Amino acid sequence: MSLAFIFPGQGSQAVGMGVDLAETFSAAREVFQEVDDALGQKLFALMRDGPETDLTLTENAQPALMAVSLAVARVLEKEFGVGVDRAAFVAGHSLGEYSALAAAGAISLADTARLLKLRGQAMQRAVPVGEGAMASLIGPKTDVALAEAAAAAGAEVGVCVVANDNNQGNVVISGAKAAVDRAIEKAKELGARAIPLNVSAPFHCPLMQPAADEMAQALAAATIVSPRAPLVANVTARPVHEPEEIRRLLVEQVTGRVRWRESIAWLVESGGVTRFAEAGSGKVLSGMAKRIAPDAEATPLNTPADLEAFAKSL
């Protein structure tokens, strides 16, 4: 069995996430306290009690999701003796890439929390609320070619690109609101269903360049070392372990496409991965992995029981 740890992105947040881990394991409580201390914020209290509207804010959701992922990783290592170095690779969806790097020891937990807080704020600052939009194109006919054709129609009136290639039947477009509206019309003509997403900014498109510039400055000052397991990067769908290349790709990721379908396909076909373990909140990535690679095993690690069963299965 060849294992890859995968780490979820924005949208997987939920009030109450991580609470059962904190109640069961001191290692999880330590992670949540470290993140609170790094941010000077009672983030775990927000995760535990809400309100959901505050937790969903990008600047809170990003470090909160990372904190849950790192709590899972630390509990696995401290309580069950399963370190990230048991994996052949790590990968994360958008902000999950930071979680993957932190879990693999490439960036400290405190630095990761601060970088994600800034990333959320910078993304929000980049485009005024209401000027950008994202939409999910879904259905059996939906693939990258269809999404690119829809985005090209939108691009006639403004910025519009494919933002997330999640899996066959699930591709996300992003850009200026009028352009995304036009792309939605085109996608429907081409046989896809189109669902506008409830997001505060148009992520992973050229409108995010001001945020990329802010992150370039912040990442230039951050300490990054080689991860304990190679990271399969969002923007290349290929492994990377050299710190300067990781730094460059994290900047590119702000405006670039999340090549998730290609990443999972590479992990299975070239990386030899037969099992995915989703460390963190929810099970969105496990579902995507099963759709991309039906023969691979995909296990969401949410609860203490999930972690115990996973550790015993290795």
Is the domain of 83 the same as that of 34? Answer: yes
Is the domain of 64 the same as that of 148? Answer: no
Is the domain of 184 the same as that of 265? Answer: no
Out of 12, 93, 174, 204, the active site residue is 204
Please report, for the domain that includes residue 236, its CATH number.
3.40.366.10
Is the domain of 158 the same as that of 222? Answer: no
Q: Give the distance from CA 158 to its chain's centroid.
A: 26
Choosing from 199, 226, 246, the residue where a domain stops is 199
pLDDT score of 223 = 98
pLDDT score of 1 = 75
Number of Cβ within a 10 Å radius of residue 238: 16
Q: Give kind and range of the element (H or E) at residue 25.
A: none
Q: Tell me, yes or no, if 241 is annotated catalytic.
A: no
Residues in the chain: 314
pLDDT score of 36 = 98
Is the domain of 100 the same as that of 67? Answer: yes
Each residue's pLDDT expressed in tens, for the chain with a length of 314 residues:
799 999 999 999 999 999 999 999 999 999 999 999 999 999 999 999 999 999 999 999 999 999 999 999 999 999 999 999 999 999 999 999 999 999 999 999 999 999 999 999 999 999 998 899 999 999 999 999 999 999 999 999 999 999 999 999 999 999 999 999 999 999 999 999 999 998 889 999 999 999 999 999 999 999 999 999 999 999 999 999 999 999 999 999 999 999 999 999 999 999 999 999 999 999 999 999 999 999 999 999 999 999 999 999 99
pLDDT score of 198 = 85
What total of structural domains would you count in the chain? Answer: 2
Is the domain of 246 the same as that of 264? Answer: yes
Is residue 151 within 8 Å of 159, Cβ to Cβ? no
150/144 Cα distance (integer angstroms): 10
Q: Give the distance from CA 47 to its chain's centroid.
A: 18
Is residue 199 within 8 Å of 69, Cβ to Cβ? no
Q: Tell me, yes or no, if 94 is annotated catalytic.
A: yes
Query: With 0-12 CB in 10 A as exposed, 13-18 as middle and 19+ as buried, what is 115?
Result: buried
Out of 12, 94, 200, 281, the active site residue is 94
Choosing from 154, 171, 199, the residue where a domain stops is 199
Closest CA to 175 of 193, 146, 145, 196: 196
